[in-house]
């Protein structure tokens, strides 16, 4: 069963932690009873020496961030991504394919009706399209290298070895 603390001990503890003194070694404000304060006591400073520099009940001054300090705090996404990883996994070979790839259903059926089996690496299932979707501006049935690259990557991920080999061969002949 946990021991109950009296109200007076709780109030003295909270008032002690809100006190801060200036550290003689660093010149920064440290909390009385905190780890830095205890380290200074262990190093040989007496309680009176530490409190001579002045005590304050005010909160420790915080460093400024933002426009007034001259530089803005980095966003959460910037903190997550290191500088060396900034441009990683953003190759130009597949950039933009997601916008021009034919979606499942009507766009793929329309592409197959107009262009035939040559626009799919697995034409039986209308899977792994390698031609751009039909639109008003472009209705050509040309093979898009971004689609070949995307199909090659997906086939390797999903274990379609025959499709991967076909995509490799097509990429070597048409796209290099």
**What residues does each domain of the chain span?**
20-52, 97-175
Specify the higher pLDDT residue, 82 or 8: 82
Instruction: Write the pLDDT tens digit of every residue in 46-105.
Output: 777 777 665 555 555 565 555 555 666 767 776 676 666 666 666 666 678 988 899 999
Calpha distance 45→30 (Å, rounded): 14
Beta bridge partners of 129: 120
The pLDDT mean for the chain works out to: 78
pLDDT score of 11: 41
Using alpha carbons, list the distances in angstroms from residue 96 to 66, 100, 152.
36, 7, 16
Residue 19 has pLDDT above 90, yes or no: no
Residue 135 has pLDDT above 90, yes or no: no
Give pLDDT, residue 47.
Answer: 78
Q: Summarize the confidence of residues 7-12 as an average pLDDT.
A: 41
Whole-Å CA distances, 70 to 39, 73, 99, 121: 34, 10, 40, 55
The answer, as to whether pTM is greater than 0.85, is no
Distance separating the N- and C-terminal Cα atoms of the chain: 75
């Amino acid at each position: 069963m946990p021991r109950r603390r009296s109200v007076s001990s709780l109030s003295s503890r909270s008032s002690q932690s809100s006190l801060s003194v200036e550290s003689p070694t660093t010149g920064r404000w440290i909390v009385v009873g905190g780890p830095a304060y205890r380290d200074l006591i262990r190093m040989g400073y007496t309680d009176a020496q530490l409190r001579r520099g002045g005590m304050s009940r005010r909160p420790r001054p915080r460093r400024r961030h933002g426009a007034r300090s001259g530089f803005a705090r980095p966003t959460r996404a910037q903190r997550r991504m290191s500088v060396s990883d900034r441009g990683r996994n953003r190759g130009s070979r597949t950039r933009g394919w997601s916008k021009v790839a034919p979606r499942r259903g009507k766009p793929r059926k329309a592409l197959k009706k107009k262009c035939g089996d040559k626009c799919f690496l697995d034409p039986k299932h209308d899977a792994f399209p390698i031609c751009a979707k039909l639109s008003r501006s472009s209705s050509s049935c040309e093979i898009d290298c971004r689609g070949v690259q995307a199909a090659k990557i997906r086939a390797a991920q999903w274990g379609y070895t025959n499709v991967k080999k076909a995509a490799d061969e097509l990429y070597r002949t048409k796209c290099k």
